[in-house]
Structure 1
Amino acid sequence: MFLRSGLIGLSFTLAAHSAAAGDTFPLTIENCGQSVTFEVPAVSAVTVGQAATEVLFALGLGGKVLGTSVWFNDVLPEYADLNAKVERLADNDPSFESVVAKRPGLVAAQYEWHVGPEGVVAKREQFHDLGIPTYVMPADCAGKDNTTGGDGTRTRMFTTGSLYRGIEELAAIFGEADKGAELVADYKAREAAAVAKAQEVALEDASALFWFSSPEMESDPFVAGQKGAPGYMMQQLGLRNVIETDEEWPTVGWETIAKANPTVIVIARMDRRRFAADDYEKKLEFLRQDPVASQMDAVRNNRIVVMDAQGMDATIRAIPALEDLAAELSVIGSSQ
């Protein structure tokens, strides 16, 4: 599908790489299987997903955000005052009507399952028919099949390149390509430093499990598959993922996990309370009291790392999460 809007047009082909060339309009971006063209820079946005919201805040574009939705944690502290001035349409999934009512120049989504072929909020075409262009963070569709149900399946390993691409493209859409390049350069430097720090730690045959949440405390947990953002972190930091599937967030039984016996367990901390296990303290309590989970070496030796839930996803929080995990591995390595 090709959408051309008088207000917006986003297309960021790798060949032309318009953003890098400057703020050139019309601007066309190939985004998650669709071409979107902006005749002039976008002037406003509604975000469906915390990741898209915080990217716009980090780019200094918070004043152009008319409404937000889908929150896992409180906004980053440095954006608290700014975020307080922006209407929160919903903590979780907003209605199509509430997004359209803001008359945004752009709908920026974190996940394709919110705004996509089977969109929980709406299909992209529903917005496009109203002249509202959409943009889905490419980290959720690059090398990923979102038609498999659930959180999708990675067809190749996530890399921060898709995250950085999203930052650059959003900046370009608003005519702020220089801001995007500056922010990406900073994150790349921090990522390289974190990886270098972890490589100084010699953890022999170290393995890890990333636990996001669980429908019920005793039920099989949602854990990170091989090729998502946590898989990338583990690969970069020299950790072996004990979960071998390519599903983004599969459910795996505790007996299977205990048999794999990870060296380190990373658990998500979030403010959302959709599931009981969203509370990281309840995760800790479960690990220490469950007759199966409590016998794992990571639990018995207190090698449990608490990580920002958004840091486990393809978001700008993944970079500080990588830094924190590298620091934790240094501590674990020195105690062995």
Structure 2
Amino acid sequence: MFRKSLRLLPALLCLAGSVYAQSHATHYPLTVENCGRSQTFHQSPQRVVTLGQHETELLLALGLGKSIVGTAVWFGRLPPPLAPAGQGLKRLADNAPGFEAVAAQRPDLVLAQYSWHLGPRGEVATRERFEALGIHTWVAPADCVGKAVTADSNGDGARTTPFTLESINREIDELARIFNVTERGQALRHQLKQRIGHARQQAARPGSAPLKVVYWFSSPRLNGDPWVAGGDGAPGWISRTLGLQNIIDSREEWPAVTWEHIARSRPDIIVIASMERRLYPADNAAAKIAFLNKDPVTREIPAVKQGRIIVVPAMSLNPSLRNVDAVEQIGKQLP
């Protein structure tokens, strides 16, 4: 009897897995709320254009690369784990493409990382313009929930509530439902949680005062005011996760701050963004480092004098899956 039960076990496990998959399958039509808009999907999207590297990487991480028919808004290369799946992806533009270039791909869904590409004054188009053609649209929740462009902020906007990785987890869950890959979404979330826990343990400094940090993304002029991370964006979450103190106390995502102010705050660490984009002189990480070591104000900053300059991909400093990469990379290089 016991041997008979063992012979039946594989079949029972297979049946249980099938029941589990069916119980988590998406039932269409599916109506979702996204950044104040309600949309109904009657099937899983088959042709997707991604406006923003995070959206591209998220679909690849969910095993949905074959549905991507066009991409745009790139900061750099795909991370090694996603590079094989992303080979051959069509680039419509390195930065913002035109509306016609996107519509020509005949997408049934356009995903945007930033609302300035697909918002009321969208650089590519408004959501209404795509939806008038029967094309669904999506904006990353991290860019519209608890965040807005205000009268006092620059174009990057300001946070009304601090960013946490829960915004990314929420997007994973919602896109996984839309594409009917719920189990993959759950697996991805579990993997991120494990990595964060391990990185936090590795970076722990019990009994030590928090190290002070500043995050430099770019700037329109190397010797001008740099765009540095405010306290409530993705770098703020990275700092809190690693027990660091961001010296910039601002709700703005990337405010412009004088080097004199930064020098007075005496950061122990400077994290700079590396990217292939070349819209501004300070997009170049090597140029940033050279400036820090040469300028009479910045070269006296403790982080510069002690060589505590950490370079990370720009994508890892904007709300995205890569925030976990930044936690790992910065955590490994802390003194």
TM over 0.5: yes
Matched, 1:35 2:38: yes
CA contact (8 A) 2:24 2:183 kept: no
Residues 296-335 of structure 1 aligned to structure 2 (within 5 Å):
296-329=301-334, 332=335
Question: What's 1:230 paired with?
Answer: 235
Gaps of 5+ in 2: 1-22
Shift of 1:202: 4.6
Provide the C-alpha distance between the structure 1 equivalents of 2:288 and 2:222, rounded to a whole number of angstroms: 8
Question: What's 1:153 paired with?
Answer: 158
In the alignment of these two chains, the number of paired residues is 312
Question: What's 1:187 paired with?
Answer: 192
Match of 2:245 among 240, 247, 270: 240
Provide the C-alpha distance between the structure 1 equivalents of 2:149 and 2:46, rounded to a whole number of angstroms: 30
Matched, 1:45 2:52: no
CA contact (8 A) 2:74 2:95 kept: yes
What are the Cα deviations for residues 210-245 of structure 1, in whole angstroms up to 9, with x where unaligned?
000111111100100010000111112111111111
What are the Cα deviations for residues 68-123 of structure 1, in whole angstroms up to 9, with x where unaligned?
00000112234334433221000000101111111111101100111011111111
Shift of 1:200: 3.9
SS state of the match for residue 312, structure 2? strand
CA contact (8 A) 2:225 2:258 kept: yes
Match of 1:291 among 272, 275, 296: 296
Provide the C-alpha distance between the structure 2 equivalents of 1:64 and 1:46, rounded to a whole number of angstroms: 9
CA contact (8 A) 1:47 1:107 kept: yes
Matched, 1:103 2:106: yes
Residues 113-152 of structure 1 aligned to structure 2 (within 5 Å):
113-148=116-151, 149-152=154-157
SS state of the match for residue 209, structure 1? strand
Question: What's 1:17 paired with?
Answer: none
SS state of the match for residue 319, structure 1? helix
Output the TM-score relative to the length of structure 2: 0.90
Shift of 1:201: 5.2
SS state of the match for residue 265, structure 1? strand
Gaps of 5+ in 1: 1-19
74-83 vs 229-238, which moves further: 74-83
Question: What's 1:92 paired with?
Answer: 95
Provide the C-alpha distance between the structure 2 equivalents of 1:173 and 1:146, rounded to a whole number of angstroms: 28
SS state of the match for residue 77, structure 1? coil
Shift of 1:147: 4.7
CA contact (8 A) 1:113 1:146 kept: no
Match of 2:82 among 79, 84, 100: 79
Provide the C-alpha distance between the structure 1 equivalents of 2:198 and 2:272, rounded to a whole number of angstroms: 23
Identity %: 46
Shift of 1:146: 3.2
125-134 vs 171-180, which moves further: 171-180
CA contact (8 A) 1:112 1:146 kept: no
Provide the C-alpha distance between the structure 2 equivalents of 1:272 and 1:202, rounded to a whole number of angstroms: 40
Shift of 1:189: 1.2
Q: Give the counterpart letter for 1:179 in structure 2.
A: R
Cα root mean square deviation, aligned: 1.6
Question: What's 2:7 paired with?
Answer: none
Question: What's 1:3 paired with?
Answer: none
Q: Give the counterpart letter for 2:167 in structure 1.
A: S
Residues 158-237 of structure 1 aligned to structure 2 (within 5 Å):
158-200=163-205, 202-237=207-242
Provide the C-alpha distance between the structure 2 equivalents of 1:78 and 1:239, rounded to a whole number of angstroms: 28
43-52 vs 145-154, which moves further: 145-154
